[in-house]
Amino acid sequence: MTPKEFFDQFKTHQQVYEYVVEKLWEQGDVSKMSSGICAYRSADGMKKCAIGHLIPNECYDSGMECHNYDEIIDNFHDTMNPDHSDMVNFFNRFSNDFDDHAPTFDAFFRNMQILLHDRYDSRDPDSTITYQQYLRNASLGFANQYGLVPYTFPEA
């Protein structure tokens, strides 16, 4: 699948949300760099963060690490590369069409990253909650916040 085909599959915020939650559920843990910091791609390349799942390999650059997604849009796209333009168009396409009852789109991606990924990593170190338990709760809160239908998780 080309990056354009990847981005074109998403027609609604609901589809973006479901895709990201499903991918995070399948990988079973947060994505970190070897230093322990959140990463778009983990050190071993096997995991991605919430936003990382929305960046195809053809658009990914290791220089993106330690930058939030809006900095990526501003600084890491190559306007001569159609794959990068497709990524920018994807993020921008969703930026202006969110319902009035929900926080802004910019907050949609920021909150997706924080609530579905980053906050788990900053929990109490003595906590025994698993990532799957955390993701179930966080995704429900995220869905409610944005007026989305909660993700239906597979039975254990």
Q: Position 62: which residue type? A: S
Tokens of 73: 């849009």
Q: What's 123-142 look like in SS3?
A: CCCCCCCCHHHHHHHHHHHH
Per-residue model confidence (pLDDT) at position 13: 87
Q: How confident is the model at residue 107 (pLDDT cuts 50, 70, 90)?
A: confident
Q: List all residues 6 or more positions away from 152 whose beta carbon is below 8 Å from its beta carbon.
A: none
- The reply to whether 151 falls in a domain is no
- The reply to whether 154 falls in a domain is no
- The reply to whether 70 falls in a domain is yes
Return the minimum-mean-pLDDT range out of 80-89, 109-118, 138-147: 80-89
Distance CA 128, CA 137 (A): 14
Q: How many domains does the chain have?
A: 1
**Nearest residue to 31 via CA among 108, 91, 116, 90:** 116
Distance CA 81, CA 125 (A): 43
- The reply to whether 38 falls in a domain is yes
- The reply to whether 13 falls in a domain is yes
Per-residue model confidence (pLDDT) at position 101: 45
- The reply to whether 155 falls in a domain is no
For residue 74, the enclosing domain spans 3-146
- The reply to whether 103 falls in a domain is yes
pLDDT digits (tens, 9 = 90+) for 48-90: 999 999 988 888 888 888 887 777 777 766 655 677 778 777 7
Q: Position 5: which residue type? A: E
Tokens of 27: 């990988």
- The reply to whether 54 falls in a domain is yes
User: Counting Cβ atoms within 10 Å, is residue 16 exposed (0-12), middle (13-18) or buried (19+)?
Assistant: buried
Distance CA 127, CA 123 (A): 7
Per-residue model confidence (pLDDT) at position 139: 94
Mean pLDDT of the chain: 82
Distance CA 41, CA 56 (A): 11
Indicate yes or no: pTM above 0.95.
Answer: no
pLDDT digits (tens, 9 = 90+) for 14-48: 999 999 999 999 999 889 888 878 899 998 889 99
Residue 98 predicted with pLDDT over 60: no
Per-residue model confidence (pLDDT) at position 70: 73
**∠ Cα 97 95 121 (to 5°):** 120
